Amino acid sequence: MSQEFPYLKDDSYVAVQRGPEPGGAKGAYRVFGETLRGLKTTMARLIEGPVTVQYPEEKTAVYPRFRGRHKLHRFEDTGLEKCVGCSLCAAACPADCIRVVAAENDPADRVSAGERYAATYEINLARCIFCGYCEVACPFDAITMGHDYELADYNRSDLIFTKEMLLAEPIVRTPLRGEGE
Amino acid sequence: MSLPLAEVGFAEATWILIVKSLLIFAVIFAIVPLLTVVERKVLGRFQARYGPNRVGPLGMMQPLADAIKLVGKEPYKPDNATGFLWAVAPMIVVFSAVTTLAILPFGDVRDGVGLYGIDTSIGVLFFFAFGGLSFYGLVLGGWASGSKYSFLGAMRSAAQLISYEISMGLALLGVVMMSGSLSLTEIVHAQEPIWHIVPQIVGFLCFMVAGFAETSRAPFDLPEADAELVAGYQTEYGGMRWGTFMMAEYIEMFVVSGIAATFFLGGWMGPGPPVLDPIWMILKILGLMFVFFWVRATLPRVRYDQLMSLGWKVLLPLTTLNVLVTAILVVAT
């Protein structure tokens, strides 16, 4: 090794396996064999069948922690909104896409469990980068990242989701990946 | 040893010939568009995907959609194209491809009607004559387009087709010597004891390789090597003129498969009653077409010098050797 390459002092390099010389009868024979090997490989793919997911009809299942479109939550027992309008999510948002306007709760007709509630809660999904910081920042788990990923729309203004839209259940449920899938 | 002369006593009425030619035309022109979608689907399966499956049931209406798209396109002609030759080139190609269909035998003579277009006593020569004529279409089309890409593509295809034509002819020569006739029906009859693919396996393989080159299919699709030549001689063509070129390519593929099935795979012969003869022939042709698709899905395009060296240094000596050995064996036995 070091006789061939005297400038290489150690054995820290890997000898490259070079292909055999092309051409000649030997080459033609080898090409024939390799061609058959290639044909076998493609035929194996044919037998395996397609791996395509027929997207609009079949959807890729998402992982439980997939960060899709946001959801706002209510308390299941009382039906009150969890959001208290603290704007911590808006402060945490790196894309600055959340707008919260808080208002005082009327004790006779409460909207949220806290002292205040979000009179306006808007997320501009055209700007959202789906980082999930809002979810992390929220002290009451009022906002979480859902599983919806089909968010295309015709107008940018349609991508501004209001509180009612975020509170509602998504129309189309996204398939969820099970354990070990 | 007396050579058998051509059978000239058998003649059919003119109306039978007309009906037969119309029938062959109708059947082939129904099969060819389906072949385009079948090729895309098979190719898709080879690549672990589905291929076209949106238009109609199983995507089988795809060729109709393609045809409507092609017909609806503007018939654009480049300014420096030589008009008449440019327009006539795709016609020559499709004409020569379709004409060869006439000699493919789909069955024996039945009730005075042969299940083939015409049984010429020079069957093989007919095939090569019209195969040679299709070069004119390609070369004229490439030259008359007035474009460098087209011209280079046409030059390539001319060189490729001429060099592979020789090996193709020599590959068939072994079969011709074994059956002692040029007529395709006679060649099929000569395969009654054993199909020619068994003694002529070298000839068959060489014929198929030359056939890939002859029909400019992958891995020898150099005339239309899109990475280097845009689309070769087809560059300046659009709409149905381009569609005609594509159709001719598929018909040629069908013809080459048919010739291979006739010469090596026993033509129409197969188990079952004689009614099934055309079915067997078509099945054999489709099987060989599948090999075309399979090879297309497998092999990358060869380099131009590799193509030439394969044709002249491997195929030509191999086929010549095959012919010599066959000749010696035929004379010896």
Q: Where are the domains of chain A?
A: 70-167
- Residue A133 identity: Y
Query: Taking chain A, what is the end-to-end CA distance rounded to the nearest angstrom?
Result: 49
Q: Over pLDDT 90: what percentage of chain B?
A: 2
Q: For position B60, what pLDDT does the model report?
A: 84
Pick one of 2.40.10.120, 3.40.630.40, 3.30.70.3270, 3.60.150.10 as the CATH number of A70-167: 3.30.70.3270
Q: For position B27, what pLDDT does the model report?
A: 81
Average pLDDT of the residues in B103-132? 79
Interface contact flag, A50 B297, Cβ < 8 Å: no
Residue B9 pLDDT level (bands cut at 50, 70, 90): low
Q: Is the pLDDT of residue B48 over 90?
A: no
Average pLDDT of the residues in B180-204? 83
Q: For position A129, what pLDDT does the model report?
A: 92
Residue in chain A lying closest to B302 (CA): A31
Q: Is B236 exposed, middle or buried (0-12, 13-18, 19+ CB in 10 A)?
A: buried
* Contacts for B186 with CB less than 8 Å, ≥ 6 apart: B4, B179, B180
Our CA-based measurement puts residue A19 at a distance from the nearest CA of chain B, in whole angstroms, of 17
Residue in chain B lying closest to A46 (CA): B46
Q: For position A92, what pLDDT does the model report?
A: 92
**SS3 at position B127:** helix
Residue B227, number of CB atoms within 10 A of its CB: 6
Q: For position A136, what pLDDT does the model report?
A: 92
Our CA-based measurement puts residue A35 at a distance from the nearest CA of chain B, in whole angstroms, of 7
Q: What is the pLDDT of residues A101-137, one digit of tens each?
A: 988 888 888 888 888 888 899 999 889 999 999 999 9
Residue in chain A lying closest to B50 (CA): A50
Q: Which helix (H) or strand (E) holds B64?
A: helix B62-71
Q: Is the pLDDT of residue B101 over 70?
A: yes
Choose between A15 and B134: higher pLDDT: B134
Interface contact flag, A35 B294, Cβ < 8 Å: no
- CA-nearest of A93, A80, A74, A77 to A141 is A74
Q: Which helix (H) or strand (E) holds B205?
A: helix B201-214
Q: What is the pLDDT of residues B246-271, one digit of tens each?
A: 888 888 888 899 889 888 888 788 78
Any CB–CB contact under 8 A between B80 and chain A? no
- Residue B209 identity: V
Q: Is B97 exposed, middle or buried (0-12, 13-18, 19+ CB in 10 A)?
A: buried
Q: Is the pLDDT of residue B50 over 50?
A: yes
ipTM: 0.72
CA angle B205, B210, B212 (to 5 degrees): 100
Our CA-based measurement puts residue B250 at a distance from the nearest CA of chain A, in whole angstroms, of 22
Residue A28, number of CB atoms within 10 A of its CB: 17
**Best residue in B39, B43, B45 for a mutation probing chain A (most A CBs within 10 Å):** B45
Residue in chain B lying closest to A27 (CA): B314
CA angle B35, B37, B41 (to 5 degrees): 110
Highest mean pLDDT among B112-121, B182-191, B230-239, B289-298: B289-298
- Cβ contacts from A onto B, under 8 A: 37
Token pair in block for residue B111? 């009730």
Residue B216, number of CB atoms within 10 A of its CB: 24
Our CA-based measurement puts residue B286 at a distance from the nearest CA of chain A, in whole angstroms, of 17
- Which ranges of chain A have pLDDT less than 50? 1-2
Mean of pLDDT over chain B: 83
- CA-nearest of B307, B316, B320, B333 to B156 is B307
Residue B4 pLDDT level (bands cut at 50, 70, 90): low
Between CA B153 and CA B216 the distance in angstroms is 11
Between CA A122 and CA B327 the distance in angstroms is 88
Interface contact flag, A39 B294, Cβ < 8 Å: yes
Among A42-46, B37-41, B121-125, which is the least confidently predicted range?
B121-125
**HEC-encoded secondary structure of B265-294:** CCCCCCCCCHHHHHHHHHHHHHHHHHHHHH
Interface contact flag, B48 A51, Cβ < 8 Å: yes
Q: Is B207 exposed, middle or buried (0-12, 13-18, 19+ CB in 10 A)?
A: buried
Q: For position B56, what pLDDT does the model report?
A: 79
Taking CA atoms, A153 is separated from A129, A158, A161, A167, in Å, by 16, 7, 12, 19
